[in-house]
Structure 1
Amino acid sequence: MNIFLCLALGLLATATLCQGFCFVLPRVLDTTTGRLPNGCIDAEGTIHQIGNAWNDKDCNRCKCLKHGIGCCSQIPRYFGLPESCKVVVNKDCTHKLVNENDPDSVCVPRGAVG
């Protein structure tokens, strides 16, 4: 029975590490017409149709919804990392934990905020 409990807790901890935080930005009025546009306008000024999804420059996966833009971070917020460990984010939004003092050692966080 203890084995199943340990396995379940381990799976829950892994799931927590894979999630990022989410947020919603309300749709904004078009300044020229004073009405809501037919889609969503992102931070760069690009218009996205309702239902379309994209990655923004901050590694958030966003989707245009009827009520606004819903985005979730693709990079977890780690906590409990040793000071020498840093999160390195690549241009394609992949990331890895790197120990700056000892590249051969593994950085293991206590968890992540998701």
Structure 2
Amino acid sequence: MAFDICSDDCKFVMKTQRECLKNGISYSMGSMWKDEDCYSCYCGNVTAICCSEYVQPPEVPRNCEAVFDRGICTYKIYRKDNHDILCN
């Protein structure tokens, strides 16, 4: 898993002297993980941080809408009147 600390959307995670805590789960220092919201996380010696792995969608045409797919951590752009049809 690549960890990019330059992401636009990052959150700090609770850190104790020996571990990081996120959503009631303990991670040891040096651990990296991906959470259910598509954030890559790192528990460092000094700080703990989670940054988004996805990019916000580009400008969406008026007849379309962006829908976030948590399974693949990306946005898909669908027609508003029919979510079975992807917009270009």
Q: TM tier, shorter chain?
A: 0.5 to 0.7
Normalization by structure 2: what TM-score? 0.66
Of Structure 1 and Structure 2, the greater strand share is in 2
The count of residues paired between Structure 1 and Structure 2 equals: 80
Question: Rg bigger for which structure?
Answer: 1
Q: Percent identity?
A: 21
Retained in 2: the 8 A contact 1:86–1:100? no
| Aligned-residue offset at 1:72 | 1.5
**Where does the alignment leave 5 or more consecutive residues of structure 1 unmatched?**
1-18, 29-35, 107-114
Alignment partner of 1:98 is 2:78: yes
Of Structure 1 and Structure 2, the greater helix share is in 1
RMSD over aligned CA atoms reads 2.6
Task: Assess, with a 3 A threshold, how the Cα gap between structure 1 residues 93 and 104 changes in structure 2: closer, same or farther.
Answer: closer
| Aligned-residue offset at 1:75 | 1.7
Normalization by structure 1: what TM-score? 0.54
**Where does the alignment leave 5 or more consecutive residues of structure 2 unmatched?**
1-5
